[in-house]
Amino acid sequence: MYKILDKIVIIEFTAFIAGPLVGQIFYQLGASVIRIDPSKNPIDKDRFPVDENGYSYYWAELNKGKKLLNINYRKKSDLKDIIQLIKKLYTDKTIIIITNLSLPSHLSYKALSKVFHDIYYLEIYGSSANKEVDYTINAQTGIPYINGDYNNPQNNMLPTWDLTTGCIGAVSILSLLTNNKNNDRYIKLSLMDTCLWTLSNLGYLGEHYNKQESRESSDNYVYGTFGNKFSTKDNIFVFIICLTTRHWDNLIKTLNLNSQINLLEKKLSLNFKLQKHLYYARKELYQIIQKKINDHDYAYISQNLEKNEILFSKYESASEFVNSNPNCNLDNPILSIINHDFMIPYISADIPFKLKNQKRLSNKSFNAIELDKYINSL
């Protein structure tokens, strides 16, 4: 973590991913983050993945470094504890409220801004039409049909819209802190709008606008160019992708396939110097290349692909990635061993960017503290 935003206090009323991720980003930038839950057993406390004793890595990681306070804030009578907390911090700190929950009216921006005129408030919600979560939004986008096929839509286990919304939420707050000429302090951000924004940036909305047909299922092929999974003679899977003409030429030269590829190019009346033509012929090209790769073991294939600067990667299991991948070890400055009161120490990542002139601070413990002890320590 970096001590950049040490004059900021985040107060969270959150659950799931997007809201807690905003707070986690601010914590890793040096802000104090206080998560307030109405009970000692929040909704995400035991969510998978969990360790052998049932403690949640999910919960621990999204809340590491935060101060966890328990107040039944749905009772207006208990609001005084929150007000007391904010008042003690307000003298020299910027207060930011983050929520992605349906809060009672006494915790709305309208109510709190009457007491604290300078607070910032980020409200994350599903969509303007319905209560939504990442997975229900993703089901509407058409992407599961592209991932799978039209008889078997396939969800992505990675919660893309939650993660993107968390990052955009942090950016939206930072933008107001940087330049706020209009004195805006209340931000509303929906998962659906973040989804639309992301898909628009990728051309996906424009591609389908006013059209009846949808993009075909691309299986494991990379859309619009040539890339796929291949298996070697010793049954190791490797992913190869050609994003430029140079990559393609190098691949065909490395595998000594020039004559076969030239014949296919003429047969199909295509030009393999064009990325789109590689995609059009993807199935025929795959058969030729897969047969060649299957003649050799992984050591030979990887050595030659690397030597000829071809983009490739061996498929790894989750355990292999975490424990054997050269990027995922303690030599990487964003990674460290984190300690908890209730979990066995494990590897954990800090915010990924690196600064030239500022030292990264140690992030080695999970800090949970009760409300009364925290207020008394101020």
Can you list the positions of beta strands (E) in 154-213? 186-190
Alpha-carbon distances, residue 248 vs 41, 58, 189, 237, 314 (angstroms)? 54, 40, 42, 19, 18
Alpha-carbon distances, residue 200 vs 194, 216, 317 (angstroms)? 10, 18, 32
Q: Are 16 and 44 in contact (CB under 8 A)?
A: yes
Whole-number Å distance between alpha carbons of 84 and 80: 6
The model's pLDDT over 47-83, given as tens digits with 9 standing for 90+, comes to 999 999 999 999 999 998 888 888 888 888 777 777 7
Alpha-carbon distances, residue 78 vs 75, 85, 174, 376 (angstroms)? 6, 12, 30, 17
**Conformation bin of residue 212: beta by default, left when phi > 0, alpha when psi is -120 to 50:** alpha
Q: Cα–Cα–Cα angle for 358, 364, 369, nearest 5°?
A: 115
pLDDT at site 341: 78
Backbone torsions φ then ψ of 85, nearest 5 degrees: -60, -50
Task: Give the burial string for 66-99 (b: 16+ CB within 10 Å, else e).
Answer: bbbbebebeeeeebebbeebbeebbeeebbbbbb
Whole-number Å distance between alpha carbons of 360 and 333: 8
Alpha-carbon distances, residue 140 vs 145, 222, 340 (angstroms)? 10, 22, 39
Q: Cα–Cα–Cα angle for 251, 230, 241, nearest 5°?
A: 45
Does 370 score more than 90 pLDDT?
no
pLDDT at site 364: 60
Whole-number Å distance between alpha carbons of 29 and 297: 46
Q: Is the backbone peptide bond immediately before 49 cis, with ω within 30 degrees of 0?
A: yes
Tokens standing for residue 60: 């621990």
Does 365 score more than 90 pLDDT?
no
Least confidently predicted of 12-16, 43-47, 198-202, 368-372: 368-372
Tokens standing for residue 54: 């049932």
Higher pLDDT, 300 or 82: 300
pLDDT at site 24: 96
Taking alpha carbons only, the member of 309, 317, 156, 314 closest to residue 230 is 314
Q: Where are the domains of the chain?
A: 8-203+329-377, 226-315
CATH number of the 226-315 domain:
3.30.1540
Confidence of residue 219 (pLDDT cuts 50, 70, 90): confident
The model's pLDDT over 133-169, given as tens digits with 9 standing for 90+, comes to 999 999 999 999 998 777 889 988 899 999 999 999 9
Whole-number Å distance between alpha carbons of 15 and 165: 14
Strand order in the sheet with 226-231: 226-231, 237-242, 311-314
pLDDT at site 62: 95
The model's pLDDT over 246-265, given as tens digits with 9 standing for 90+, comes to 999 999 999 999 999 999 99
Q: Are 163 and 195 in contact (CB under 8 A)?
A: no
pLDDT at site 107: 93
Can you spell out the DSSP letters for 218-266? -TTSPTTSEEEEEE-TTS-EEEEEE-SHHHHHHHHHHTT-HHHHHHHHH
| Average pLDDT estimate for 266-282 | 97
Does 213 score more than 80 pLDDT?
yes
| Average pLDDT estimate for 165-189 | 96
Pick the CATH number of 8-203+329-377 from 1.10.760.10, 2.40.50.140, 3.40.50.10540, 3.40.718.10: 3.40.50.10540
Taking alpha carbons only, the member of 358, 371, 356 closest to residue 28 is 358
Average pLDDT, the chain: 92
Whole-number Å distance between alpha carbons of 112 and 132: 26
Whole-number Å distance between alpha carbons of 366 and 342: 9
